[in-house]
Amino acid sequence: MRVLQICSKIPYPAKDGGCLAMLNLSEMLYNNGVDVKILAIETPKHPAPIEGYPEVFNQRFKPESVFVDTKTRLTKAIFNLFLSNHSYHLVRFKNKDFAQKLIQVLISYKPDIVLLDSLFTCGYIEEIKSNSIAKIVYRAHNVEYAIWQEIAIKTKSSIKSKYLTIQSERLKKEELLLISKCDGILAITSKDKDFFKAHFADKKLMNLPFTIDIDSYHTNYELHEKALFFIGAMDWYPNLEGVKWFIDNVWSQVLLKHTTAKFYIAGKSMPDELKKLEERNIINLGEVADAKKFMEKFPIMVAPIFSGGGLKIKIVEAMAMGKIVVCNTEAATGIPVTDKKNVLLANSSAAFIDVINYCFENLKEQNQIGKNARILIEEYFSCEKKGKELELFLKSI
């Protein structure tokens, strides 16, 4: 079986959750004997590596890419608003050069399956149907329009809120239409699977969570520093929203009781307002070269995520490393967690404060939470088990 995986950004190096999910899928297919080729949209945020890809990556996935300027530009956004009915979120990824490259690859590679990895690649469905007999499978990272609906509601500026509402309505219409043209759907959480099942009852559907090689995640239960960490791309609104809320509503109160505690933040596109907070015991490292090495250093992850849908991949990774994860229920979507067994749930600022204070005072005892977290990830997110299911699903379409 030959699979052409079309990615909305360069998946290597895997600097964020989306890249990790894409690369994870490539490797899962390859490890189950599937011939995989990656064709990616190279964006300003995710350029191709200057030093090139590792030889093993080239051999496995024969990657090709085309640069597309996907930057949000005010003039284009205004023109789109008044002179188009299409979603500006999607049109930024539509490009003639990429379409031409896609056609060339379809003709030369002759895939059995074209796997559209994220909604932002779905604008090329007509080119696929016109130049290939391959089945089209959509891999949903989340329900995109729902994210922008939430952001529009929470936006304080009435003008911006109205604009985002219009765009989310356009996105919803196009998202549902594009998915209807696909032959199968891969959903990253059971919640998303239920959504797609309700809207596309005739489609082949599989719940395929982010999976990991558990052996590549190392544990250390001897960390006793009063330290929390958060890692995530700050150009994704739910991450920025969550961190700012945590600093304003939780961290200042924690410091009253634990004056030497530290809060470490890492992630790309860090805004200036989060860069100069050392006086509040906040250490901002910006984008880090190795996310795993960053997470290995600290005992407790905080993940206050109030919107965004989908699976929070960094939480899965932290749990695989045996970290104590303090998060709200929304952040744990897609992970079958049990409060006080394998995570600590907190759904208010007061609850976050209480849980963190208790962890700092009973850190050694709370390490059992981290140990149970790793067991959970090993049971439900094994790449070996899910990889075989994925291969059978694709063959069934």
What is 251-310 written as a DSSP string?
A: IHHHHHH-TT-EEEEE-SS--GGGT--GGGTEEE--S-S-HHHHHHT-SEEEE---S--S
Looking at CATH, the fold of the domain delimited by 2-211+382-396 is given as Rossmann fold (3.40.50)
Say yes or no to pLDDT of 246 above 90: yes
DSSP-based helix, strand, coil % in the chain, nearest 5 = 50, 15, 35
Do residues 217 and 226 make contact, with C-beta atoms less than 8 angstroms apart?
no
- Identify the CA nearest to 213 among candidates 336, 84, 316, 83: 316
- Identify the CA nearest to 322 among candidates 293, 347, 343, 291: 343
Note the pLDDT of residue 349. 97
Question: Which residues are CB-contacts of 95 (< 8 A; sequence separation ≥ 6)?
Answer: 41, 66, 68
pLDDT tens digits, 211-231? 888 888 999 998 888 999 999
User: Which residue is associated with the tokens 């989060």?
Assistant: 274
3-state secondary structure of 2: strand
The CATH classification number of 215-380 equals 3.40.50.2000
- Which token pair is 177? 């239409």
Note the pLDDT of residue 365. 86
Say yes or no to pLDDT of 243 above 90: yes
Say yes or no to pLDDT of 308 above 80: no
Give CA–CA dist 344/86, Å, rounded: 42
Note the pLDDT of residue 382. 78
Note the pLDDT of residue 309. 72
pLDDT tens digits, 272-300? 888 777 778 999 999 998 999 999 999 99
- Average pLDDT of the chain? 94
High-pLDDT (> 70) share of the chain, %: 100
Domain ranges of the chain: 2-211+382-396, 215-380
- Which token pair is 329? 């229920």
Note the pLDDT of residue 265. 96
Q: Which strands, in side-by-side order, build the sheet including 35-42?
A: 64-67, 35-42, 2-7, 113-117, 135-140, 184-187, 204-207
Note the pLDDT of residue 279. 77
Note the pLDDT of residue 373. 97
Give CA–CA dist 272/326, Å, rounded: 26
Q: What is the mean pLDDT of residues 357-368?
A: 91
pTM above 0.85, yes or no: no
Question: Which residues are CB-contacts of 299 (< 8 A; sequence separation ≥ 6)?
Answer: 223, 224, 225, 227, 323, 324, 363, 367, 370
pLDDT tens digits, 60-96? 999 999 999 999 999 999 999 999 999 999 999 999 9
2-211+382-396 and 215-380: same fold?
yes
pLDDT tens digits, 155-188? 989 999 999 999 999 999 999 999 999 999 999 9
3-state secondary structure of 59: helix
Note the pLDDT of residue 160. 93
Question: Which residues are CB-contacts of 287 (< 8 A; sequence separation ≥ 6)?
Answer: 15, 266, 267, 268, 269, 270
Do residues 391 and 32 make contact, with C-beta atoms less than 8 angstroms apart?
yes
Say yes or no to pLDDT of 271 above 90: no
Q: Distance from CA of residue 152 to its chain's centroid?
A: 20
Give CA–CA dist 132/107, Å, rounded: 7
Using pLDDT thresholds of 50, 70 and 90, give the confidence band for residue 26.
very high
